Every structure is written in C-alpha cells, then in structure tokens.
C-alpha cells in the first residue's frame, strides 16, 4: 500500500548588487542541494507549513508573495523491521521575499544553508522538478521587478 504525504516549502529570495539570490539547503553530508520543505503539522494550512519549514531549515523569515506550484514523486523508505514502505509525496512551493534572519541559524536537520545566485542555484539542483520550480520562481521575480520599476 502507498501512503500519501503532503509537504510544503519555499523559494526565498533577495536582491544583492550581484543580482537575485535564493537560499538553498544541503543535506546528506552536503552532497545534495535543494529547497527547504517539510511535512504539515496538524491544523496547519500549506502557506503556514511553507513559512515554518523555510524558517526552520534556513534560519530566514520571508513574506509569502504567491504560490509557485507543486511537485509529485514516489519514494520508498526502509523500516526498522526490514520491510519497505512506499510513499506518494506532493510538495507545494511558495515564492517568498526575504525579510530577516541569518542562514547560520538553520536547524539540525540541515547540514548547511547558503545564499546562492539564482542561475548557480538552478544548476546545483539534483532533481529536475526542483530545477523547474527555481526557473519558474526566477520568471515570477523578474515580472514583479519589472512591474515595480514601471510603477516608480
């Protein structure tokens, strides 16, 4: 039997002189870079889960701007008794603008968190669907920036 899991996470971004940066987390001894995400807690909606998980895993606080989309995948987990359990996971991502915090304040689930220029971040992604999520985030951020510039 396959169990369904719902998670949420985010792409948190900021602008620096060098351009747009996003916060990435590394796990598995720094071998895998990815986006912060995690399971919803009882009574949490997806936006609240995304905000909490980004804060816990990156040490950063952000303002949710919009939904980015979701990814779906299957994975198996080896149980202590020797059996395996199959999961169908759906992860909803939100675009978040950085407000405050330091990447050094991430929780112990994460090996490292760092700000990375968006193009480099896209190339660091191991999984195609997270790469696509970052590409979509870049397009949305560029649209927001154009709208702000034309309004001023």
Give average pLDDT by consecutive 10-residue segment, the chain, 152 residues. Answer: 92 92 89 92 94 97 97 90 91 97 93 95 92 96 89 83
Look up the CATH number of the domain holding residue 65. 3.90.79.10
Position 145 scores a pLDDT of 87
**Cα distance between residue 108 and residue 96, in whole Å:** 22
Which letter does DSSP use for residue 43 in this model? Answer: T
Position 116 scores a pLDDT of 95
Which letter does DSSP use for residue 41 in this model? Answer: P
- Overall domain count for the chain: 1
Residue numbers of the domain that contains 113: 2-151
Position 73 scores a pLDDT of 92
Position 5 scores a pLDDT of 92
What tokens were used for 108? 């112990």
pTM for this structure?
0.91
What tokens were used for 10? 């985010």
What tokens were used for 36? 């912060």
**Cα distance between residue 55 and residue 9, in whole Å:** 10
């Amino acid at each position: 039997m396959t169990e369904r899991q719902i998670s949420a996470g985010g792409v948190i971004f900021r602008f620096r002189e060098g351009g747009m940066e996003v916060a990435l987390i590394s796990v598995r001894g720094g071998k895998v870079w990815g986006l912060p995400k995690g399971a919803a807690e009882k009574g949490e909606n997806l936006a609240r889960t995304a905000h909490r998980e980004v804060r816990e895993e990156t040490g950063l606080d952000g303002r949710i701007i919009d939904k980015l989309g979701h990814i779906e995948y299957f994975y198996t987990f080896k149980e202590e008794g020797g059996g395996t359990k199959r999961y169908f996971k759906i992860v909803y991502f939100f675009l978040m603008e950085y407000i405050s915090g330091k990447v050094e304040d991430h929780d112990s689930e994460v090996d490292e968190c760092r700000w990375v220029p968006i193009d480099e971040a896209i190339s660091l992604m191991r999984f195609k669907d997270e790469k696509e999520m970052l590409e979509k985030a870049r397009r949305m951020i560029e649209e927001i920036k154009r709208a702000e510039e034309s309004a001023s």
